Amino acid sequence: MILLITPSSKAQECVHALQEATGEPAHVAGSFRQAAILLRAQEYAALVLDQNLLDAEPEESEVMLEHAATAIPVYVNFAISSTQRVVRELRAALQRRKREVASARNSAEQNLRNELKSNVTAMLLSCEMALETGELPPSAQAKMRAAYEQALDIKGKLGIAG
C-alpha cells in the first residue's frame, strides 16, 4: 500500500497513476497529521512525501515519520515534478527496497546456515561414534540411528557438502 502525502491539487491524479503503475492501493493524506493517523491504522510499503510540505511543517513531519515503520520514504517536489516522474521515483524506490530485502534475507540465511553447519556436523559425529561402540541397547541404538538420519536430513536441507 502507498501513502501519498501532499496538499497538492494533483494528488488525486497522482494517486490514481501510482495505483495503476504499481498495482497497489494508494491513499492520500493532505497533511502530516492525517498521514500519522493513517500510518497508525495500517502499514504502508512506501510514503510519497511532498518536499514543500516537509519544508513548511518540519516538526509535524518528524512526528509522522516516527509512525512510518518500514515504509520507504520517497521525497518529491510536486511543484516541478510531473506525475510520470513521481511514478518513476516510486518504482525505483520500491525496486531498491525489494533488492535490499532480498539481500538481507540471503545474508540471514547464509549466517544461519553457517551457524548450524558445525552443530549438525557435531551431531553426526556424536551419533556415529555412539553407534560404533556397539554397547548401546537395541532401543537406544534405534533412537540414535533416527537422530543420525534426522541430522543427515538437516545437513541436506542446509546444503552442507561432505
Give the residue numbers spanning the domain of 60.
2-106
What is the model's pLDDT at position 107? 95
| Cα(60)–Cα(22) distance, integer angstroms | 28
What is the model's pLDDT at position 55? 87
Residue 27's SS3 state is strand
| Cα(143)–Cα(151) distance, integer angstroms | 12
pLDDT exceeds cutoff 80 at 128? yes
Grid coordinates in use for 108?
540471514
- Which residue shows C-alpha cell 541436506? 156
What is the model's pLDDT at position 72? 93
Picking from 115, 124, 117, the residue whose alpha carbon sits closest to that of residue 151 is 124
Number of domains in the chain: 2
Residue 162 lies in a domain: no
Q: Domain check: are 61 and 128 in the same one?
A: no
* 29-55 per-position pLDDT tens digit: 999 989 999 999 999 999 999 999 988
Q: Domain check: are 75 and 150 in the same one?
A: no
Task: Specify whether the CB–CB gap between 94 and 28 falls below 8 A.
Answer: no
pLDDT exceeds cutoff 90 at 16? yes
